[in-house]
Amino acid sequence: MSAQAGVTPDMISTDATTPSDVLTVGMGQSGQRYSSLSKINTQTVVDLVPAWTFSFGDEKQRGQETQPLIYNGKMFITGSYSRLWALDVKSGKKLWAYEHRLPDGIMPCCDVVNRGAALFDDLVIFSTLDAHLVALNQETGKVVWNEKLDDYKAGYSNTAAPLIVKNLIVTGVSGGEFGVVGRVDARDAKTGKLVWSRPTVEGHMGTLNGKDNGITGKTNASWEGDQYKSGGAATWLGCTYGADVDLIYCGTGNPSPWNAHTRPGDNLYSSSTLAIKADTGKIVWSYQSTPHDSWDFDGVNEFIPFDMKKDGKTIKAGAKADRNGFFYVLDRTNGKLLGASPFVSQQTWASGVDMKTGRPIETANRPGDPGKEDKGSSVFAAPSFLGGKNWMPMAYSQNTGLFYVPSNEWGMDIWNEPITYKKGAAFLGAGFTIKPLYEDHIGVLRAMDPATGKIVWEAKNGAPLWGGVMSTAGNLVFTGTPEGYLKAFDAKTGAELWKFQTGSGVVGQPVTWEQDGEQYVAVASGWGGAVPLWGGEVAKKVKDITQGGMLWVFKLHTSKANSVALK
Ligand SMILES: [Ca+2]
Ligand SMILES: [Ca+2]
């Protein structure tokens, strides 16, 4: 045991309500990204100015999708290419740096990003592009343990922030474009040793303490033959946790390959939300948003527990803005569908969701079968596979009761091609071209009312939004843009109140905390991610955005600032 207790499970479970630190990615295990701080508010935000900055340095730039953590006078921040730094949180001075040695031949599908670390006891723990999980000492940056999640040569990687639940560290895996088998792993956070593993493709055996722990679903119930052995359902965006019901919520990606004609059935548990019991690694409930997916509608988006006020009642709910364009509200105790409404302007593939069966009401919008024609017929589908929303996390405000969704308006031509599985090779069986739906904008920040499914306000953006969102009790919503701005909006009206040009595209996740009586806001700047790599005609639109790698920290320009003095 270390002399200082370090970060305890209790501190993790109350992180969302302790504004002097940020111990978790998502600003709490539920991932609401809501802060009770209000010194920076709709009145004072005009006076937000830089306090210090930190350059990630050298020639390794690309996408910076990270979220800083703040604890015990230090900031811990990850960067592209599996790097991690500890900084003095008051000055920005670098205390130590860790650069993971990456082998040649790693296969991240969607840029060399990292989405943040986890804190536990005296450790800071993060995932790497070669599918390892590395724990470093918070004081020294020295490696304490290093566990292999899986074989990067088979297409596995990991970019999501790990989740701490009690004494466990919970991770998923990336690799859905390479025919991996998705799963959720829980390890002893202190030692890194595996406790349980739960595959997310139906038919695979789970484990608990090294012993068989039951098959996921039932073999061949929703897959034919051996297809489940390369079935995808990658858990590449990690998980959230509902402490009151002791359930870990994990989203799963597309079934593999993309060409759905090769794999009859619903292909459980792809494109789904899974609720897994923290202590047993058993699936308690599941909800599949896109059965038998044909469009790469990964269902990985964060499922955020919240208490919904409706008809005078408080409901234990959870919400998810799915890549397929629907905003889902489920009962977080049992997965029952409570609402599903579009948060994008066009959905060609489904006209709605059947509230009785929970299944989408499909239109005829699947690409053709290349086994039956010379080439599978192409269809135009919206959203595109980059999604009505992609990885970038939304925020919930306990003040307004609204969710703030970073959405995008784009479609795609998509067609299927023959494909067979080969270890370590792309496993798509599809071709595509992404197209904007509108001339003047792709990104739209939208405020959604979960009780009604209605869009309350929206703020359009030229380039696709690709950064996380944060809301505060100061009635502000913060998010970044590829054009380089960190912006603050009025949480009630959507009015843009403040923006700051950071010098590169902002695709990071903003945070806020309080120290020495002042409120701070931080975000990483550094353009990249999937859009420049996969974006087709959209990539051309953003080709002039420069890369970067910089952390920006802001505070109000007078230490005693308050709305009265500044007005
Ligand atoms: Ca906290
Ligand atoms: Ca995918």
Q: Is 296 a catalytic residue?
A: yes
Whether 402 has a pLDDT exceeding 80, the answer reads yes
- The rounded Å distance from CA 472 to ligand 1 centre is 13
Ligand that lies nearest to the alpha carbon of residue 21, given by its number in the listed order: 1
The pLDDT > 70 percentage for the chain reads 97
How much is the pLDDT for 513? 98
Q: What is the mean pLDDT of residues 275-291?
A: 98
Residues paired with residue 556 on neighbouring β-strands, in sequence order: 48
How much is the pLDDT for 536? 82
Rg, the chain, Cα only: 22
Residues paired with residue 465 on neighbouring β-strands, in sequence order: none
Give CA–CA dist 117/69, Å, rounded.
7
C-alpha 349 chain-centroid distance: 23
pTM of the complete model: 0.97
Mean pLDDT is lowest, of 86-90, 183-187, 551-555, 558-562, for 558-562
**CA atoms within a 13 Å half-sphere pointing along the CA-CB vector of 42:** 12
Ligand that lies nearest to the alpha carbon of residue 177, given by its number in the listed order: 2
- The rounded Å distance from CA 135 to ligand 1 centre is 21
Catalytic residue among 111, 121, 296, 490: 296
- The rounded Å distance from CA 257 to ligand 2 centre is 9
Give CA–CA dist 200/392, Å, rounded.
22
Q: Where are the beta strands (DSSP E) in 379-495?
A: 379-381, 395-396, 403-408, 410-416, 430-436, 443-449, 454-461, 469-472, 476-480, 485-490
Whether 2 has a pLDDT exceeding 60, the answer reads no
- The rounded Å distance from CA 12 to ligand 1 centre is 8
Contacts of 219 (CB under 8 A, 6+ apart): 202, 203, 228
Q: What is the mean pLDDT of residues 500-510?
A: 98
Q: What is the mean pLDDT of the chain?
A: 95
Sign of CA dihedral 276, 278, 279, 281: positive
- The rounded Å distance from CA 176 to ligand 2 centre is 5
Ligand that lies nearest to the alpha carbon of residue 109, given by its number in the listed order: 2
Whether 565 has a pLDDT exceeding 60, the answer reads no
Read off the tokens for 343: 């948060």
Q: What is the mean pLDDT of residues 453-465?
A: 98
Q: What is the mean pLDDT of residues 502-527?
A: 98
Q: pLDDT tens-digit profile of 311-365?
A: 999 999 999 999 999 999 999 999 999 999 999 999 999 999 999 999 999 999 9
- The rounded Å distance from CA 143 to ligand 1 centre is 25
Contact 528, 113 (CB under 8 A): yes
How much is the pLDDT for 559? 52
How much is the pLDDT for 485? 98
- The rounded Å distance from CA 58 to ligand 1 centre is 32
How much is the pLDDT for 3? 46
Q: What is the mean pLDDT of residues 386-414?
A: 98
pLDDT-derived band of residue 59, with 50, 70 and 90 as boundaries? Answer: confident
- Higher per-residue confidence, 375 vs 505: 505
Whether 20 has a pLDDT exceeding 50, the answer reads yes
The pLDDT > 90 percentage for the chain reads 93
Q: pLDDT tens-digit profile of 416-442?
A: 999 999 999 999 999 999 999 999 999
pLDDT-derived band of residue 561, with 50, 70 and 90 as boundaries? Answer: very low
